Amino acid sequence: MTKARIARFYLDDGLRQNAVAGAHNFIAKVSTVLRGAGYGVQYCPNTPAERAKSAHRPGYSLFHMDAPLQDRTLTFRRVYHYPFWAIEPSNKRWEWHVAQADFASHNVPRKPADRFYNFWRKRLFPDIPAPTKQGLVYVPLQGRLLDHRSFQQCSPLDMVRAVLDHDPDRPVVATFHPKETYSSTEISTFRALAQENPRLTLRTGGMLEMLANCDYIVTQNSGVAFDGMFFAKPTVLFGEIDFHHISAKVSELGVAGAIKTAPTLTPDYAGYVHWFWQVMSINAGRPEAERHIHAALSRAGWPM
């Protein structure tokens, strides 16, 4: 075995110990595929210094969620829920293979797709009553509320302003992410906006209630919008993301067009979720997972 035929995982403590013990199902399957292709597999600490060293080490690297540093590095991460995973040359979801692919809505395997969708809806949201539309817009916020980042059409603050301007009738509920730490300036700016606009309510969390009751979702690229598909709730996307295919995209329709279009959308949610997860992602719970892992590594240019 040559030195170049080595694959190193860079993993946080806990995850690394599980990988060494063979106790992480997905990493174990990736390791099996790599060993079958002649690679030696190593599990390294995930620190900035170790990741920096990877660029100068022979062989290949796998980062968990972190951005690859060179063309011999891939990133892997969960696709919103277990046991679905992706292995990609970029940690930017909108650059992933699925984001560039076309969803063939005319070619959905109806019975398998419906069965798959209903199974995962019950698995993920077992106690939620039948969704309703109670005349409100749900805006799940993420981080950096005042910044306009490169993958966004505007800042989250201006996104909320746009919803208030272009949907003049519905109440708007914007929710702070419970795991984000917001600055006092961010909080005060949003509170001032709510004081100016009686239709705007601010709260923290409450995702399931909002998904069950809203008319549609507006977000930059929050994974909440993916969960919204299990509630048959359409989405306006102000940012780039991998699950964009059946949403109203501001990048294509403009702000007014996307907000006007979203409430009228009735896409094939079951067909799309089946395609996105079962066809385009790696379902680590399925016997064909190793074949899909092999395909992802080959697509990324690794010698397999």
193: helix, coil or strand?
Answer: helix
Answer yes or no: is 148 within a domain. Answer: yes
Mean per-residue pLDDT, 114-131: 94
What domain range includes position 290? 6-101+281-299
pLDDT at position 302:
96
Find the mean pLDDT for residues 285-300: 97
The reply to whether 77 and 191 lie within a common domain is: no
For residues 126 and 268, membership in a common domain is answered with: yes
Same structural domain, 65 and 204: no
Q: Mean pLDDT throughout 14-40?
A: 97
Q: Is residue 1 part of a domain?
A: no
Same domain, residue pair 94 and 112 = no
Helix segments in 66-183, DSSP class H: 97-100, 110-124, 156-166
Length of the chain: 304
The stretch 110-127 carries a mean pLDDT of 96
Single pTM value for the model: 0.95
d(CA 109, CA 104): 11
DSSP string, 114-139: HHHHHHHHHHH-TTPPPP---S-EEE
Residue 61 lies in a domain: yes
Task: Please state the rounded mean pLDDT for residues 56-79.
Answer: 96
Residue 95: pLDDT above 80? yes
Cβ atoms within 10 Å of 98's Cβ, excluding its own? 21
For residue 77, give the H/E element and its range.
strand 73-78
- Report the pLDDT value the prediction gives residue 286, as an integer from 0 to 100: 96
Please give the share of the chain, as a percent, with pLDDT higher than 90.
97
Q: Are both 171 and 287 inside the same structural domain?
A: no
Query: Residue 217's beta-bridge partner residues?
Result: 138, 235
Asked if residue 73 is part of any domain, the answer here is: yes
Q: Same domain for 110 and 178? A: yes
Q: Please, what is the average pLDDT of the chain?
A: 96
Q: Is 185 left (phi over 0), alpha (psi -120 to 50) or beta?
A: alpha
Q: In the chain, pLDDT over 70 holds for what percent of residues?
A: 99
- Do 89 and 194 belong to one domain? no
Contact between 249 and 237 (Cβ < 8 Å): yes
CATH of the domain at 272: 3.40.50
Considering the domain boundaries, does residue 110 fall inside one?
yes
Question: What is the pLDDT at residue 18?
Answer: 97
Q: Is residue 236, in this structure, part of any structural domain at all?
A: yes
Give the model's pLDDT for residue 275: 98
- In this structure, the answer to whether residues 268 and 175 fall within a common structural domain is yes
Residues 23, 132, single domain; the answer is no
User: Is residue 37, in this structure, part of any structural domain at all?
Assistant: yes
Per-residue confidence at 130, pLDDT binned at 50, 70, 90?
confident
> Which is higher by pLDDT, 179 or 128?
179
200-204, strands of its sheet edge to edge: 200-204, 172-176, 137-140, 216-219, 235-237, 248-249
- The two structure tokens encoding residue 140: 């799940």
The answer on 285 and 266 residing in a single domain is no
* Closest of 268, 134, 272 to residue 210, by C-alpha: 134
Nearest to 174 by CA among 192, 194, 154, 144: 194
Tell me, yes or no, whether 122 and 268 share the same domain.
yes
Contacts of 220 (CB under 8 A, 6+ apart): 142, 151, 152, 156, 159, 237, 238, 239
Domain count of the fold of the chain: 2
| Co-location of 288 and 208 in the same domain | no
Average pLDDT over residues 240-255: 98
Structural domain includes residue 304: no
Q: What is the pLDDT of residues 233-247, one digit of tens each?
A: 999 999 999 999 999
Closest CA relative to residue 301, chosen from 50, 68, 43: 68
232: left (phi over 0), alpha (psi -120 to 50) or beta: left
**pLDDT above 70 (res 159):** yes
